[in-house]
Amino acid sequence: MSKEIIIIGGGQTAANASKTIKDSDKSYNLSIFSNEDYLPYERPPLSKQLLTSEKKIDDCLFYKEEFYNENNINFLPNTEVEKIDFKEKLIFTGDKNYSYNKLLIASGSKNRILNIEGLNQNEIFYLRNIDECKKIIDKVKKIKNILIVGGGFIGLEIASSMSKLEKNITLVESSAQLMGRIIPEEISRLVYEKHSQSGVKIFLNTSLKSARKKDQQYQINLSNNEKIEVDIIIVGIGALPNTDFLNSSDINIDNGVVTNEYCETSRDNVYAAGDVSNFFHPIYNSYMRLESWKHAQDHGINAGKNIINQKKNYEEIPWMWSDQYDLNLQLTGICNDYDQKVSRGNNLDEGIIFFFIKKNIIMGACGVSKGPKIGKDIRISGIKIKNQEIIDINKIIDKNIKLQKI
Amino acid sequence: MTDTNENWIYVCEADSIEVEDLKRFDHENDTYCIYRLEDGYYATDGNCTHEEFHLEDGLVMNGEIECPMHQGIFDIKSGKAKSPPACIDLKTYQVKVDDNKLYINL
Ligand SMILES: Cc1cc2nc3c(=O)[nH]c(=O)nc-3n(C[C@H](O)[C@H](O)[C@H](O)COP(=O)(O)OP(=O)(O)OC[C@H]3O[C@@H](n4cnc5c(N)ncnc54)[C@H](O)[C@@H]3O)c2cc1C
Ligand code: FES
């Protein structure tokens, strides 16, 4: 088999795919093209321990430089892939081109941009990579009043980290509930209370109408007619798959690069995985695109295997987590397709979990606790989802019965 | 024959841990996990080597402990890191049971 493998994007998916390939056979020629200046690193700390300076960049690398050297992985930083010619099997960067036998698209996702009347984009802060994180850290050192736009996971984690730094925080969310509708309303409310107790002022059903710069501050008009003054505006309103460089190419794109359960795209020898891929999930019998750390890891590993012909279908059950203050939230499966919703546990010390059940099969589970108390039960739920187990609902809700024993 | 390196510390009644389960044990400034598998008792350090979260709320299954935080997996008997994000092994300790009393060798 020809051995020239190229990975586009140097994030978590790339790190895991390259390790899988090299662990199996060191003789593959493997190059990673990244438009960032850093070796692949974990993004979750960007909104958590990096933002509060509890961690350093070095602590967040998946693998240190020696790993890439010892495995002879050609990592090209600050190198943007601009175009692909699938017929000729070439990728283009600036005035150079490179040929591949197998290609993995692992370009992740990018920030959804918010246009704010009265402001230029360069006055608005976002958080997706180390450079953006550094910019926020530098800025907030000198200021006190922060506006966060977006009450999703990232916006809320930024609020939690900023409150540790004793800032005045206002957060606006355009919908009626924090963290969207994938999270049970009850958990969303608990999280709302936690933020409020920590001094974060939250406006739901509210958006930004306009902003005006005055000296070093911004005067903000909100849709609920409140007027506030802040020193920085940080926007976290979701992400979009990074597929712009594929616009002129002939490959199936629909909310990301479309792949089957083997990470294969519509083009021969071209694979996609992680945040950028809209993949077919055999258990749910539908396509999904996930922005989740665990998925990027497992999908990257799966892509690695399929690239080197260890054909393996991908059927991991979605799982993600968020840390806010001392709370740990975990979500597995899908929580929007159910005929019954039941709960287990009634306090944050021991954990509260909501199960989304359809025809007596768990479809999804979402929980919250102080620390990862819910971790085990969420994991067991994931196993039950994967096995499509028929469950006894009366047992599931009884905290005295171990979920593992059901 | 006595081995001078042995330092057996009493943990708990052996049958207070169910099969395929674990118990946290704190001693001096350190913390451990004591496991009961089908074929006996085992012990490892208490904190995950990924981000130092305690494994006490983790899942014991097929001779492995899975971290409750990010699902890193370790082999209980050898402490070997089996699945990312765990990549550093857990330290293991000897345990023994004497008349239903469980001891760890620290
Ligand atoms: C602030 C933040 C916090 C998060 N917290 C959590 C959490 O708590 N829990 C959780 O489950 N998930 C979390 N996530 C999500 C998780 O980090 C992502 O799902 C994961 O990083 C996806 O990995 P990936 O490799 O697919 O993409 P990415 O990590 O996005 O990596 C893709 C890389 O490709 C580069 N790239 C894009 N286009 C090109 C091109 N044309 N040429 C070269 N390079 C290119 C990008 O710049 C990037 O470096 C968080 C994400 C962010 C941003
Ligand atoms: S702390 Fe255990 S896997 Fe991350």
CATH at residue A121: 3.50.50.60
A58: DSSP letter: G
pLDDT band at residue A2 using 50, 70 and 90 as cut-offs: low
Same domain (yes/no): A294, A352: no
When the pLDDT of each residue in chain A is averaged and rounded to a whole number, the result is: 96
Of A45, A53, A41, A38, give the one whose Cα is nearest residue A140: A53
Interface predicted TM-score (ipTM) over 0.85: yes
Q: Which atom of ligand 1 is nearest to the CA of A93?
A: 42
Q: Is residue A83 assigned to a domain?
A: yes
Which distant-in-sequence residues (6+ apart) come within 8 Å of A351 by Cβ?
A345, A367, A368, A369, A373, A374, A377
Å between A379 CA and nearest CA of chain B: 8
* C-alpha to C-alpha distances, B101 to A14, A78, A115, B77, nearest whole angstrom: 49, 60, 67, 20
Counting ligands in written order, which one lies closest to the CA of residue A128? Answer: 1
Q: A33: Cβ below 6 Å to ligand 1?
A: yes
Residue of A nearest to B84 (CA): A297
Same domain (yes/no): A101, A247: yes
A331: domain CATH number?
3.30.390.30
Q: In whole angstroms, what is the distance from residue A76 CA to residue A96 CA? A: 13
Reading the block at residue B55, the tokens are: 């494994």
Answer whether A325's CB lies under 8 Å from A194's CB: yes
Residue of A nearest to B56 (CA): A373
CATH code for the structural domain at B8-105: 2.102.10.10
pLDDT (tens digit per residue) in A20-58: 999 999 999 999 999 999 999 999 999 999 999 999 999
3-state secondary structure chain B: CCCCCCCEEEEEEHHHCCCCEEEEEEECCEEEEEEEECCEEEEEECECCCCCCEHHHCEEECCEEECCCCCCEEECCCCCEEECCCCCCCCEEEEEEECCEEEEEC
- Ligand 1 centre and the CA of A287: distance in Å? 20
Q: pTM (2 decimals)?
A: 0.95
- Candidate from B67, B82, B83 with most ligand 2 atoms within 8 A of CB, to mutate: B67
- Cβ distance A379 to B20 less than 8 Å, yes or no, reads no
- Judged against a pLDDT cut of 60, whether residue B1 lies above it is answered with no
- Judged against a pLDDT cut of 60, whether residue B61 lies above it is answered with yes
Q: A296: Cβ below 6 Å to ligand 1?
A: yes
- For A231-384, strand residue ranges (E) read 232-235, 239-241, 257-259, 270-272, 277-281, 286-288, 319-324, 327-333, 340-347, 351-358, 361-370
Beta-bridged to residue B33, according to DSSP, are B24, B44
Same domain (yes/no): A300, A347: no
CB contacts, 8 Å: A294 with chain B = 70-71
Q: Give A 311-330 residues with CB within 8 A of chain B.
A: 319, 321, 328
Q: How far is CA B32 from the centre of its chain?
A: 6
Q: Which domain holds residue A374?
A: 326-405
